[in-house]
Amino acid sequence: MAYQEQQLQEISKQFQIYGEILHAETFKIGHINETYSATYDQGGMRVRYIHQKINKNVFKNPPAVMKNVMRVTTHIRRKLEAMAARDITRRSLIVIPTRSGQSFYRSREGEYWRTFVFVEGVQTFESVQSSEQAFQAGRAFGEFQSLLVDLPGGRLTETIPNFHHTRRRFSALQQAIQKDRYNRAKDAKREISFALQHESLVDVILNAMAKGKIPERITHNDTKFNNVMLDTLTGEAKCVVDLDTVMPGCALYDFGDMVRTTTSPTLEDEKDLSKVKMHMPIFKKLADGYLSTAGSFLTRTEKSLLAFSGKLITFEIGIRFLTDFLSGDTYFRIHRPDHNLDRCRTQFKLVESIEQQEEAMQQFVNSLDGKSSSATVGGRSSKNP
């Protein structure tokens, strides 16, 4: 339930923000956390901050989440400073500490709150509007990964264990189908059949990682197109947001989710499935942007599975939506009846489109290999193993 403005004013007093809060309003971003934009009067200037309540049902250990966020944002900012980058305060999220110097505030009710500087002059889109936007998204997430290759201090906490473990996701779907607690399986017969027929996809990357053919990396794990902020005037990618799932993972999962959310210029819950299609020109710009910043550290095995990863992650998200639908819509926020089933159908239609073009997609990635192997990130280059 959304907080009232007076309650938010009390929350705001816990953070190192100097000035009078004028008003706050719900800020619609993501499916998980409760987010508010708050405007303050600071010396006659109006300044905005983001107040956010962490969803404890999804993130069981909010302090660990915030420890990850602080490590990642601090490291990225230091790397950008070392590169003499410009506009740094708009290129990485800035956490506002509490009055006691903590990265989060725990209320008397046991709720966890955090505050970020509001990044001005940027916008996000639910679906891609142009191939140039796809290039910017790919470049931004590739740079994000590259900046974290040398993160010191040991392994990050897995904020959601087995988040992209596709075999476990598939097993959860099988259990939901078997239990059918809400008698919904009858409404999703076609989607259930599609999912079961594609079981062979789920172990490909998992097996490659288990055999050491693909390395574990620090990844974003939720690379939806709307998690990249684009400059309102120039269209350039400025800031990657929604860092709660930044943790150890696989670079391919990040790229796969970019393919899912970028290459079909439709909403994630588009009901007119005739509009859902993987657009090759957009994919090419996405891959070009991604490899321009990530190509210097990706292995050849990772590159060889980039097209496949788009199919896999789209399928994985589809079965997650289907599982949630069958289980009573307990994870993703819904805004209408059968919302998760609509989302599932959109994903599965995109899987079909990717399957039809997968060979051509990978051929294009291969054509970029020579170019990307000498790409530079942060002024340095490296060869692929």
Element containing residue 55 per DSSP (H, E): none
372 confidence band (pLDDT: 50, 70, 90): very low
Whether residue 216 is found in the same domain as residue 350: yes
What is the reported pLDDT for 27?
79
Residue 112 shares a structural domain with residue 245: no
Span of 10-14, 127-131, 372-376 with lowest mean pLDDT:
372-376
Asked whether residue 124 is domain-assigned, the answer is no
Domain end (from 67, 86, 118): 118
Look at residue 10 and tell me if it is in a domain: no
Residues 340 and 235 in one domain: yes
Question: Can you tell me the distance from the alpha carbon of 223 to that of 40, in angstroms, rounded to the nearest whole number?
Answer: 31
CATH number at residue 251: 3.90.1200.10
8 Å CB contact between 247 and 253: no
- Tell me which of 95, 118, 141 is where a domain ends: 118
Residues 155 and 76 in one domain: no
pLDDT of residue 179 exceeding 90, the answer is yes
Mean pLDDT of 18-32: 79
Q: Which of 83, 118, 153 is where one domain is finished? A: 118
Q: What are phi and psi of 45, to 5 degrees?
A: -105, 145
DSSP label of 136: H
| Dihedral sign computed on CA atoms, order 218, 224, 225, 227 | negative
**Residue 378, pLDDT above cutoff 80:** no
Evaluate if residue 333 carries a pLDDT over 90: no
| pLDDT (average), residues 204-219 | 97
Name the 3-class secondary structure at 86: coil
pLDDT value at residue 57: 86
Regarding whether 281 and 173 lie in a shared domain, the answer is yes
Convert the pLDDT of each residue in 54-79 to its tens digit. 999 889 999 999 999 999 999 999 99
Q: Cα angle at 220 between 150 and 197, to 5 degrees? A: 130
Average pLDDT rounded to a whole number, residues 149-164: 94
Mean pLDDT value of segment 249-266: 95
Residue 383 pLDDT exceeds 50: no
Q: Is the pLDDT of residue 177 over 70?
A: yes
pLDDT of residue 95: 98
Query: How open is the CA angle 221-226-229, to the nearest 5 degrees?
Result: 105
pLDDT higher than 70, residue 379: no
Report if residue 279 sits inside a domain. yes
* 223 falls within a domain: yes
What average pLDDT does range 164-172 have in this prediction?
A: 97
pLDDT score recorded for residue 30? 58
Flag whether pLDDT at 381 surpasses 90: no
Q: Are strands 376-377 and 122-123 parallel, antiparallel or unpaired?
A: unpaired
CB–CB of 16/75 below 8 Å? Answer: no
Q: What is the pTM of this model?
A: 0.89
pLDDT at 385: 39
pLDDT tens figures, 277-288:
999 999 999 999
Q: How confident is the model at residue 266 (pLDDT cuts 50, 70, 90)?
A: confident
255 and 325 share one domain: yes
Q: Say if residue 316 is in the same domain as residue 372.
A: yes
Burial class, 81, CB count within 10 angstroms (exposed 0-12 / middle 13-18 / buried 19+): exposed
Q: Return the pLDDT at 363.
A: 97
How confident is the model at residue 375, as a pLDDT? 37
Reply yes or no on whether the pLDDT at 1 is more than 80. Answer: no
* Whether residue 209 is found in the same domain as residue 352: yes
Mean pLDDT of the region 160-182: 96
Burial of 379 (C-beta count, 10 Å sphere; 0-12/13-18/19+): exposed
> How confident is the model at residue 282, as a pLDDT?
97
Cα distance between residue 185 and residue 354, in whole Å = 26
Lowest mean pLDDT among 17-21, 164-168, 217-221, 369-373: 369-373
Whether residues 81 and 171 fall in one domain: no
CATH number where 31 lies? 3.30.200
Place of tokens 């201090």: 153
| The pairing of beta strand 228-231 with beta strand 237-240 | antiparallel
What is the residue range of 79's domain?
Answer: 20-118
The answer as to whether 123 is a domain residue is no
Band (31; pLDDT cuts 50, 70, 90): low
Domain annotation covers residue 11:
no
Instruction: Clarify whether residues 289 and 144 are in a common domain.
Output: yes
Residue 215 within a domain: yes
The pLDDT assigned to 68 comes to 98
Nearest to 263 by CA among 275, 271, 251: 275
- Tell me if 152 is assigned to some domain: yes
Q: How far is CA 370 from CA 187, 222, 295, 365, in A?
A: 48, 28, 9, 10
Query: Rounded mean pLDDT of 317-339?
Result: 95
In this structure, the answer to whether residues 106 and 141 fall within a common structural domain is no
Task: Assign 244 a pLDDT band (cuts: 50, 70, 90).
Answer: very high
Mean pLDDT of 104-120: 95
Domain count, the chain: 2
CB environment 138-153: b (16+ within 10 A), e (fewer)? bbbbbbbbbbbeebee
What is the predicted pLDDT for the residue at 370?
58
Q: Are residue 67 and residue 100 in the same domain, yes or no?
A: yes
